[in-house]
Amino acid sequence: MTARARGASSWPSPADFAGPPPPAQLAEWEALDRVARPARLRRLRARFGEAGVDAYFGVRPEHMRYLTGFRLGSGEDKVAGQSGQFLVGGEEVVVLADSRYTIQAGREAPESRLFEVYHDLPSRWTELVASVGARRVAVEAAFVPHSVWRALESAAAEVELVPVEGWVEADRATKEPAELERIGAACAVADRALAALLPRIRPGATELELAMALEWEMRTSGAEALAFDVACLSGAQAALPHGAPRDQPIAAGEVLLFDFGAQVAGYRSDMTRTLFVGEPAERDLDVYRLVARSQRAAIQLLEARLAEGAALPTGREADAAARSVIDEDGRWPAYGHGLGHGIGLATHEAPSLGRSAAAVAELPSRTVFSVEPGIYLEGEMGVRIEDLVAIDATAGRLERLTRFPSTPIVVGR
């Protein structure tokens, strides 16, 4: 609807969206990961020759899971020490684990060799790299603290550390079909949770109460975890692109912005919906309509390129298509952040869609990313609409994985 916002009689229902995946589906996805890991490792090792390295040392939790199967819970990497970090040699993969994680690593990374380390990697570094015959080791330099880098250099002066960036990230940007299925399942959990929450949103409820209720809906309807903390922002707080919910009652006449996501089988969703509490002001509806037009412009650009069989746009071009709609209207400033980001095992990953995205690199295929333009009026209100879309250039297909309607919705009246 465009003339007026949708009311309760046309609200989406939880039954409109797919239910959580059954255990058999979860088991199938795990099996597909095991089958896919050798090819993932081959693609990584293919980079060794051109870079002149013998091994790759990885520390990021999402890379751990992608390449070895070892999993750390959200934030657990901060207390796990070196457990889960890994070394990919030319012939084998070594997973580091201390006594807290050896059983888990044996179950989740059975194709890898375990190497016991407990907060003492430098003292074991020479032995570790020698065990795979490495003299030059590629290291995820952006994620290894400088003090650790120096300690590893000092521990084995004969081993050269080679800083690399984006190797695994670039591979993970192109999604396997089973990865897209899991992101879609996480989207359905989030869609269903917001639909279940709509009848409970009324003036007087606090942002914090609603954020907690939305988290509960996700966790009890298929999410193994949250993709990130729920944002619930009302009125002027909605002008904060990344704000935190307060113990503040929402009021009639305000906008109410939710930014949230679920995690299913390791993969994440991310969506934003801006609702209207009570009768919306005409100005606020106009802002919403303009943001919706902006998002539509970017998606139409993608669809047009797919239909033509032409090269996909760059992330910078997609951002420009959305941003120009707001700029040409001229009434309000366009969003200062990027148009979108890739998503998968991490909430923010490649590809990037924004003014700082690569100017010549077209978007990869098959991939999935957010499209999330916004308008933020400091001290007044803010609107953002965010959907995840998957594109497959070979199939000429664009699919919205976020199914919750993006038309204006009025609650609490």
- C-alpha 313/C-alpha 327 separation (Å) is 20
Q: For domain 8-19+174-411, say whether CATH 3.90.230.10 is its number.
A: yes
- C-alpha 189/C-alpha 209 separation (Å) is 19
Determine what percent of the chain is predicted with pLDDT higher than 90: 92
Contact 136, 162 (CB under 8 A): yes
In this predicted model, which residue has the larger pLDDT, 4 or 329? 329
pLDDT(274) > 60: yes
Who contacts 46 (Cβ-Cβ below 8 Å, separation ≥6)?
none
pLDDT for the residue numbered 288 = 98
Sign of the four-CA dihedral 16, 22, 26, 28: negative
At 163, is the pLDDT very low, low, confident or very high (cuts 50, 70, 90)? very high
Q: Is 94 helix (H, G, I), strand (E, B) or coil?
A: strand
At 73, is the pLDDT very low, low, confident or very high (cuts 50, 70, 90)? confident
pLDDT for the residue numbered 4 = 60
At 1, is the pLDDT very low, low, confident or very high (cuts 50, 70, 90)? very low
pLDDT for the residue numbered 264 = 98
pLDDT(148) > 50: yes
Average pLDDT estimate for 303-320: 95
Q: Which two tokens stand for residue 48?
A: 């060794």
At 3, is the pLDDT very low, low, confident or very high (cuts 50, 70, 90)? very low
Mean pLDDT value across the chain:
95
Bridge partners (DSSP) of residue 234 are: 256
pLDDT(359) > 80: no
Q: Is 204 left (phi over 0), alpha (psi -120 to 50) or beta?
A: left
What stretch(es) of the chain map to CATH 3.40.350.10?
52-172
pLDDT(360) > 80: no
pLDDT tens-digit profile of 76-113? 888 999 999 999 999 999 999 999 999 999 999 999 99
pLDDT tens-digit profile of 176-235? 999 999 999 999 999 999 999 999 999 999 999 999 999 999 999 999 999 999 999 999
Q: Which two tokens stand for residue 264?
A: 């299913």
- C-alpha 302/C-alpha 399 separation (Å) is 11
What stretch(es) of the chain map to CATH 3.90.230.10?
8-19+174-411
Q: Which two tokens stand for residue 283?
A: 């100005």
pLDDT for the residue numbered 9 = 66
Average pLDDT estimate for 258-275: 98
Structurally, what CATH architecture does the domain formed by 52-172 represent? 3-Layer(aba) Sandwich (3.40)
pLDDT tens-digit profile of 330-352? 999 999 999 999 999 999 999 99
Who contacts 277 (Cβ-Cβ below 8 Å, separation ≥6)?
201, 202, 203, 234, 250, 251, 252, 253, 254, 255, 256, 410, 411, 412, 413
pLDDT tens-digit profile of 34-66? 999 999 999 999 999 999 999 999 999 999 999
In this predicted model, which residue has the larger pLDDT, 3 or 7? 7
- C-alpha 378/C-alpha 11 separation (Å) is 29
- C-alpha 155/C-alpha 126 separation (Å) is 7
